[in-house]
């Protein structure tokens, strides 16, 4: 019996030793950080790697510091709101990309504990309140057409509201907004008509621009023709003046030198003369074709 008792004690001590060793060893993976508590009170943090704690007295609460994404308004947790023009948003979904602040991991434990649902419980009311207020500032048509702009505004608002929490909000996105199907159809038709009006305006502007170009081209061509005509007229005027001056000079030369007429005739005479020329009352009188100056003795 003593042997069996001793054997049982040895086995117990071995098992107890394994339990002590196992409970004193804690491993933290990359992308995680641990908060050490001693009898429930925070006593420090541990980084990734092999770490040791006091068995039965200390506990390591491990948190992921990796980027995470939480969806609000999915599943049974339906979010709804009103637009500025009192249209009902039957459902919408918002996603938040975030991560725990590794430098404030102790505050993470104090704010959220170890239950991940606490994060959802704390952040969800802020998301719902901010989104409802935001949608209430815009008409339904604006919400549908400018959802990306609203996402940026909601991102800014939520980051401000969560600035005092030990989490880093990376981005906030409005994933989906659902009005009633009938109203969405009206919005789509209105948007389509607006696009058609814009298209018509653009086409009209295009026609106006083309018309202006044609007018400018015609004016340019008319101006070119006018300049060309003026150039021809000026050339003709210059030529006429030159010819007139030439005639004037020639007339003055002839007037000053009467012999030049005879000389000109002589230069152009081919040497033949008619045998007879009728002249005066005497039909048999022969008249020379040009005047012969008689030499004075």
| DSSP designation for 296 | P
How many domains does the structure of the chain reveal?
2
Q: CA-CA distances (angstroms) from residue 85 to 82, 90, 146, 158, 175?
A: 8, 14, 16, 24, 22
Q: Is residue 228 part of a domain?
A: no
Q: Is residue 269 part of a domain?
A: no
> With 0-12 CB in 10 A as exposed, 13-18 as middle and 19+ as buried, what is 123?
buried
| Residues 89 and 174 placed together within one structural domain of the fold | yes
Q: For 24-62, what is each residue's pLDDT tens digit?
A: 677 788 888 989 888 888 888 888 887 777 787 888 888
| Residues 7 and 73 placed together within one structural domain of the fold | no
34 closest CA partner among 98, 118, 108, 122:
108
Q: Is residue 132 part of a domain?
A: yes
Domain that holds residue 73: 68-179
The answer to whether 99 and 167 have CB atoms below 8 angstroms apart is: yes
Position 110 pLDDT exceeds 90: no
| Residues 123 and 34 placed together within one structural domain of the fold | no
Q: Is residue 147 part of a domain?
A: yes
Show which of 125, 153, 179 is a domain's final residue: 179
Q: Is residue 111 part of a domain?
A: yes
Q: For 173-202, what is each residue's pLDDT tens digit?
A: 999 888 877 776 776 777 777 887 888 788
- Whichever domain contains 119, its CATH number is 3.30.479.30
pTM above 0.85, yes or no: no
| Residues 75 and 159 placed together within one structural domain of the fold | yes
* DSSP three-state, residue 273: coil
């Amino acid at each position: 019996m003593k042997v069996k008792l001793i054997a049982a004690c040895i086995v117990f001590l071995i098992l107890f030793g394994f339990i002590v060793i196992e409970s004193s060893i804690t491993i933290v993976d990359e992308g995680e950080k641990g908060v050490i508590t001693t009898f429930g009170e925070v006593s420090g943090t541990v980084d990734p790697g092999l770490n040791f704690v006091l068995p039965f007295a200390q506990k390591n609460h491990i948190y992921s510091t990796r980027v995470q994404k939480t969806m609000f308004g999915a599943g049974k947790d339906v979010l709804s709101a009103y637009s500025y023009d009192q249209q009902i948003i039957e459902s919408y979904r918002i996603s938040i990309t975030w991560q725990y602040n590794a430098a404030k991991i102790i505050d993470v434990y104090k704010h959220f504990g170890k239950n991940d649902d606490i994060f959802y419980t704390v952040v969800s009311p802020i998301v719902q309140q901010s989104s409802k207020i935001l949608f209430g500032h815009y008409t339904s048509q604006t919400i549908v057409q400018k959802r990306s702009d609203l996402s940026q505004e909601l991102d800014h608002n939520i980051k401000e509201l969560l600035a005092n929490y030990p989490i880093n909000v990376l981005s906030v996105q409005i994933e989906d907004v659902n009005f009633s199907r009938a109203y969405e159809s009206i919005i789509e038709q209105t948007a389509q008509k607006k696009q058609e009006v814009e298209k018509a305006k653009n086409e009209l502007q295009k026609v106006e621009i083309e018309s202006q170009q044609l007018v400018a081209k015609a004016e340019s061509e008319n101006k070119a023709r006018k300049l060309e005509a003026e150039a021809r007229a000026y050339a003709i005027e210059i030529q006429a003046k030159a010819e007139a001056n030439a005639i004037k000079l020639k007339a003055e030369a002839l007037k000053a030198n009467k012999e030049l007429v005879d000389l000109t005739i002589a230069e152009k005479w081919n040497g033949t003369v008619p045998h007879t020329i009728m002249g005066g009352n005497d039909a048999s009188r022969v008249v020379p074709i040009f005047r012969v100056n008689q030499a004075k003795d």
